[in-house]
Amino acid sequence: MNIKEYFVSIFKGFHSLLKGMAVTGKELVTPKVTEQYPENRAELHIPERFRATLEFIYDENGYHKCIACGSCERNCPNQTISITKRMVDLPDGKKKMKLDKYTYDLGSCTFCGLCVQVCPTNAIRFSNDFEQAVFTREKLVKQLNYLPEKDDAPAPAPAAKPAAPAAPKKPVEAPAAEAPAAGESNQETKENKE
């Protein structure tokens, strides 16, 4: 190594040091943003597309759109979703597949979104509620159809019984004179009757 290369390497090292100090100096004067997490829950902004946990979409009447087709269960790469279905008889005599139990294991979910994409009725979605910490793995297994199932068609009303003929009304007789109650005078009783 000659003397020229020696001074060039010193100059490059000094130049590299100045570049690093410039980056550090910029960070030193920029305002800091610290998330005060548990205290700032009210104004905490979670992105809308954040995938936290799977949930059913219920309408205002408490119905969900899941038809128990099983496409989400088949497309899940980790077998996170488990669907139990049953056949029910409709009032018109037809049979229909009904969802009995929809369980979802949050602990083994990869949040890939394949279940939401393949759902033909758009019955499920990912919420952005990120607070899912629990102490046992059993609590990570959730049942999505937690609301009680409502019938598709209202049950037919029972046939009304014919009303019995009304008995003829008896004429109302004037009550006999009553004895005044204790503490009442005959004067007050007469005023009450008038």
Domain ranges of the chain: 53-143
Q: Give the model confidence (pLDDT) of 41-62 as tens digits.
A: 888 888 888 999 999 998 888 8
Q: Please give the backbone phi and psi of residue 7, each rounded to the nearest 5 degrees, phi first.
A: -70, -30
The end-to-end CA distance of the chain, in Å, is 133
Q: 10 Å Cβ neighbour count for 175?
A: 7
Sign of CA dihedral 8, 13, 18, 20: positive
Q: Which of 165, 148, 141 is nearest to 63 (CA)?
A: 148
State pTM to two decimals: 0.56
Q: Which residue has the higher pLDDT, 24 or 176?
A: 24
CATH architecture of 53-143: 2-Layer Sandwich (3.30)
pLDDT single digits (tens) 118-172: 999 999 999 988 888 899 999 999 998 877 666 544 444 444 444 445 555 555 5
CB atoms within 10 A of CB 42: 5
The residue among 146, 155, 157 whose CA lies nearest residue 62 is 146
CB 141 within 8 A of CB 102: no
